[in-house]
Amino acid sequence: MQTAATVPTQADQLFEKLECDRMIKISIEEENTPVLVPESTLRRASQYFCGALDHAHLGNGQRDTLKFPETKQTWKILLLWIVTGQGIEFEELDSDGLDDSRPILPLSRAWIAADKYLMAPLQDKIMLEIIRALESHELDINTAKEVFENTAPDSKLRRVAAEEVTFELSIGFLEHEALQALESAVGGSMSVLKVYSRVTDVEDLPNHRADLPLDLWREYMVQERCKVIDWNEV
């Protein structure tokens, strides 16, 4: 029979770590019940959470609670990655009470949140799903507007939105009047016009980013190095 003295040091260390690993309440603005996540899990996920935890709170006065403004759906995507290391597939969003033509909106919101909370690997995983979704779904103008309102001028997601709006204008899916919806988003119309001014033919637009041999998808990754993707496994 194995005694306590023969337990490997690694197991001892793990046990001690679990004993002192406090649970952090993730409080989402629209939800009454917080989600509990181990502190060590949050720290592994992002330097942002390390900073938040080291400063005890995010301005809410509660040491073990972090409050966030994003939606429950956005945090479902973030927590799937934080806890399991897995990314959401856009097909799952289709069956999650969403209009079948709109998986790009929740993915975009999750990408923006991952950018805010310094989770570049998750951003790239989400971007791959956005690229896959755009093979069969259109980017509606309201989603494009939200992207422009919440991204920096050099953002990879903003680039995708500008290219998609330009493509939809070029093939007549969108009328030019639709650009008026982007006027309230800082740089929204300009981002589209910048792409549009460079296009001489609709074939100039990278509307097949998921074509692995062309490696176009690499241009939309935020990490400098990204392994080759097997699209059957994404």
- Whose tokens are 């709109």? That residue is 102
Q: What is the pLDDT of residues 89-132, one digit of tens each?
A: 777 765 444 444 478 999 999 999 999 999 999 999 999 999 88
The pLDDT confidence band at residue 232, using thresholds 50, 70 and 90, is: very low
pLDDT digits over 140-177, tens only?
A: 888 988 998 899 888 999 989 888 888 887 777 777 77
* DSSP labels, 29-47: TT-SSPEEEEHHHHHHH-H
Instruction: Give me the percent of the chain exceeding a pLDDT of 90.
Output: 29
Q: Measured in whole angstroms, how far is the alpha carbon of residue 116 from the centre of its chain?
A: 9
* pTM for the full predicted model: 0.77
Q: Which two tokens stand for residue 63?
A: 């040491």
* pLDDT confidence of residue 98: 46
